Amino acid sequence: MKAWLIAPLTLAMLASCTQERQNQIRRDIQNWTGTNGVLEIYAGGAVVRRFLKVDKLSTALGTDDGLPRAYRFGYGVLDENLDNKVDASEKRVYFEVGDYATYVFFESPR
Domain boundaries, the chain: 1-33, 34-110
Predicted confidence band of residue 34 (pLDDT cuts 50, 70, 90) = low
| Predicted TM-score (pTM) of this structure | 0.69
Give the per-residue pLDDT at 5. Answer: 64
> Nearest 5°: phi and psi at 34?
80, 165
pLDDT at res. 10:
65
Q: Which residue has the higher pLDDT, 101 or 26?
A: 101
List the beta bridge partners of residue 110: none
Mean pLDDT taken over the chain:
83
Closest CA to 51 of 9, 87, 93: 93
Percent of the chain past pLDDT 70, that is, above it, reads 72
Answer whether 51's CB lies under 8 Å from 79's CB: yes
pLDDT in tens, 57-106: 888 888 899 899 999 999 999 999 999 999 999 999 999 999 889 999 88
